[in-house]
Amino acid sequence: MDETAVKVIQKKDWELTPDAFHRLLKWFDEGNDSGGQKYLEMRSRLTRYFDRKHCRTPDELADETLNRVARRLVEAETLNDTTPARYCYTLAKYVFLEHLREEGREQSGLSEISARSSAGSSVKEEQEQKEMRLRCLERCTQQLDPDLRELIFQYYAGELRVKIENRKALAVRLGISMNALSIRACRIREKLESCLRDCMNR
Amino acid sequence: MEKQTYDDQLILQYLLGRLSDEEVDRLDCLDFEDDQFSQRLQAVEDDLIDAFVNDELSGQELERFNSHYLLTPRRREKLVFARAFQQLRHSSGAAARSEKKPSDWRRVWREPLQLWGLAAAAVLLLLAGIWLVSDNFRLRNRLQQTRADLNTSNPREQELRSQLERQRSANSAIADELKNIKDQLALLKRRQAEPQKQSQNRDPGDLSIAHFDLAPQLRSIGRTGDTISIPPGTDYVSFKLKLEPGENGIYRAELKPQGGNQAIWKSGKLQTRSSDDARVTELRIPASLLAPGWYILELSALSSRAGVEIGYTFRVENK
């Protein structure tokens, strides 16, 4: 077996232990206990990064990146020469390049995925999916806190200039900045997306 | 890496894959290191997907969205969510309940009845306001005019009252004068019925009459007449003329200055009557005609063709 391949197999064979995971969380918190939020935020950014690079499996690549960070922490015990964000970004670029070499060109792969996804369902099935999706989303919005539900509906109400005016008025009414309002809305939307995904996968 | 500026348009181009590799690397790193950029990136991405769902994209943006952005399953999943969320909002009426349309001119034009209703109400209010103002103005003018009329009518009323008073006074004076004349007439009538003496009867308020008796001048020349003195303020001189016994006719008298032929006074028909066994007739001559001097009263019978038959000469002297 090629030494490089052995090293890759050894790297991929490494598993994230609870201790390593806790060390990773602590490293992300940088002394301030965030309850795992920093880790989740970094994982989300990694996922979006790989998604922007048109990777088929952005979640897996994000986990791979975080595993490598955790392993490096175990091996080196500390990584003080850079920030967690910069280190994760640098490592993510390496993971992406490796992914390109292993999976071939992304465009052809994605095209095949696109073709497969569009050809696999009939009109009736699509309609059923659509109805189920709507029911799930209704359920997910009902699970939201009433204030958050009202906020997300008002945030996306209207079109074009009206939508902007509505958001300004909403921010004024809530006593927050437009930026803070968009952050709140994005988080609620992300929560709904996750809830819908879980509901559809049941 | 130094932080550089960015805006939503740059982020949009980043998502549509229209930036250089160098700029892409910079923003990739910024997404990890800058929390604010990362949050803004998510917000712009969500708005991009919503814009596609609402058919707000066009041209190259729409082409790049389809050819570059929608290539990954995750992004297509986000698109599915966006469509479902839009459908949920529309079906639940949340859009109508929560949308605020402060200045959307398209909404106004989509509800013409409301627009025309508001316009009609505004016009009615404006007309009502104009009418109220003008009516108020008119009433004020009318009030002022009425007050002015009251002020001008008072002097007029006073003038009329004064005229009325003066007229009443004049009427009263006329009435008094008329009564006075009536009384004098009555006195004269009484005097005519009573025997007269050569005296001055001067009743207060009555005519002043001097009485004299005259005897006829003999037909022969040489007899001088009587001399009478008329008191000042005498109004009339009454002469009782003696006639020859048996003289019973109706006479007429003429007063002439002696030596003159022109009569300065003529009487009416004079009746005769008996008085102290003689026949007499009486006449009254205004005293103003009897300046001092000689006069003759020529008495002639109406039935006689002979002319003057009796002459009475007298002299008036100053008193």
Compare CB distances from A137 to B41, B74, B85 and report the shortest one's residue.
Answer: B85
DSSP 3-state assignment of A36?
A: coil
Residues 6+ apart with CB under 8 A from B297: B214, B239, B241, B253, B254, B255, B256, B283, B311, B312, B313, B314
A191 touches chain B (CB under 8 A): no
DSSP, residue by residue, A137-157: HHHHHHHS-HHHHHHHHHHT-
Compare CB distances from A159 to B41, B54, B100 and report the shortest one's residue.
Answer: B54
Cβ distance A114 to B56 less than 8 Å, yes or no, reads: no
Q: What is the DSSP letter of B287?
A: G
Cβ distance A156 to B28 less than 8 Å, yes or no, reads: no
Which tens digit of pLDDT belongs to each residue from A177-187? 988 899 899 99
Name the minimum distance, in Å, from the CA of A79 to any CA of chain B.
16
Cα(B161)–Cα(B168) distance, integer angstroms: 10
Which tens digit of pLDDT belongs to each residue from A147-177? 999 999 999 888 788 888 999 999 999 999 9
Compare CB distances from A86 to B15, B33, B43 and report the shortest one's residue.
Answer: B33
Contacts A162 to B, Cβ<8 Å:
99-101, 104
pLDDT value at residue B150: 72
Cβ distance A137 to B28 less than 8 Å, yes or no, reads: no
- Residue B217 near residue B306, CB atoms below 8 Å: no
Q: Which of A48, A49, A46, A53 is nearest to A105 (CA)?
A: A53
- Residue B26 near residue B6, CB atoms below 8 Å: no
pLDDT value at residue A6: 44
Residue B65 has φ and ψ, to the nearest 5°, of -60, -45
Residues 6+ apart with CB under 8 A from B254: B263, B265, B266, B267, B297, B298, B300
Cβ distance A154 to B98 less than 8 Å, yes or no, reads: yes
Beta strands in chain A (DSSP E): none
- Residue A188 near residue A148, CB atoms below 8 Å: yes
Backbone dihedral region of B314: left (phi > 0), alpha (psi from -120 to 50 degrees) or beta? beta
Cα(A5)–Cα(A116) distance, integer angstroms: 31
Which tens digit of pLDDT belongs to each residue from B8-55? 999 999 999 999 999 999 999 999 999 889 999 999 999 999 999 999
ipTM associated with this complex: 0.82
Name the minimum distance, in Å, from the CA of B140 to any CA of chain A.
50
Global pTM reads 0.53
Cβ distance B40 to A182 less than 8 Å, yes or no, reads: yes
Contacts B94 to A, Cβ<8 Å:
153, 157
B218 CB burial (10 A radius; 0-12, 13-18, 19+): exposed
pLDDT value at residue A93: 95
Enumerate residues 132 to 151 of chain A having a beta carbon within 8 A of any beta carbon in chain B.
133-134, 137-138, 141, 150
pLDDT value at residue B158: 80
pLDDT value at residue B244: 75
- Residue A57 near residue A96, CB atoms below 8 Å: no
Specify which of A100-109, A119-128, B188-197 reaches the highest per-range mean pLDDT.
A119-128
Residue to substitute from B88, B92, B109, interface A, most A β-carbons within 10 A: B88
A131 touches chain B (CB under 8 A): no
What residues are paired with B300 via a beta bridge? Answer: B252
Contacts A117 to B, Cβ<8 Å:
73, 76
Enumerate residues 144 to 173 of chain B having a beta carbon within 8 A of any beta carbon in chain A.
none
- Residue A24 near residue A73, CB atoms below 8 Å: yes
Strand B310-317 versus strand B226-229 pairing type:
parallel
Cα(A193)–Cα(A172) distance, integer angstroms: 27
Residue A28, token pair as written in the block: 């992300």
Bigger pLDDT: A190 vs B196 = A190
Cα(A70)–Cα(B67) distance, integer angstroms: 37
Is A60 a residue whose pLDDT tops 60? yes
A201 touches chain B (CB under 8 A): no
B43 touches chain A (CB under 8 A): yes
The DSSP H or E segment spanning A101 is helix A84-103
Cβ distance B46 to A186 less than 8 Å, yes or no, reads: yes
Residues 6+ apart with CB under 8 A from A166: A154, A155, A157, A158, B98, B99, B100
> pLDDT digit of tens for each residue in chain B (319 aa)?
445 578 899 999 999 999 999 999 999 999 999 988 999 999 999 999 999 999 999 999 999 999 999 999 889 999 999 999 999 988 876 445 555 555 556 555 556 677 788 888 889 999 999 999 999 989 999 998 888 777 666 677 888 888 898 888 888 878 888 887 888 788 777 766 665 544 455 454 568 999 999 987 654 444 457 899 999 999 999 999 988 766 677 889 999 998 888 899 999 989 888 887 788 899 999 999 999 999 999 888 876 555 556 889 899 986 5
Residues 6+ apart with CB under 8 A from A27: A69, A73, A79, A84
Residue to substitute from A45, A194, A198, interface B, most B β-carbons within 10 A: A45
A190 touches chain B (CB under 8 A): yes
Cβ distance B72 to A138 less than 8 Å, yes or no, reads: no
Strand B310-317 versus strand B209-214 pairing type:
unpaired
pLDDT value at residue B46: 93
Chain A, nearest residue to B96 by Cα: A157
Mean pLDDT of A129-139: 91
pLDDT value at residue B205: 55
A183 touches chain B (CB under 8 A): yes
pLDDT value at residue B105: 60
User: What angle (nearest 5°) sits at the alpha carbon of residue A152, between those of residues A146 and A156?
Assistant: 150
Cα(B283)–Cα(B252) distance, integer angstroms: 10
Q: How far apart are the first and last CA of chain A?
A: 42
Contacts B85 to A, Cβ<8 Å:
137, 156, 189, 192
Cβ distance B72 to A55 less than 8 Å, yes or no, reads: yes
Cα(A82)–Cα(A27) distance, integer angstroms: 11
Contacts B46 to A, Cβ<8 Å:
185-186, 189
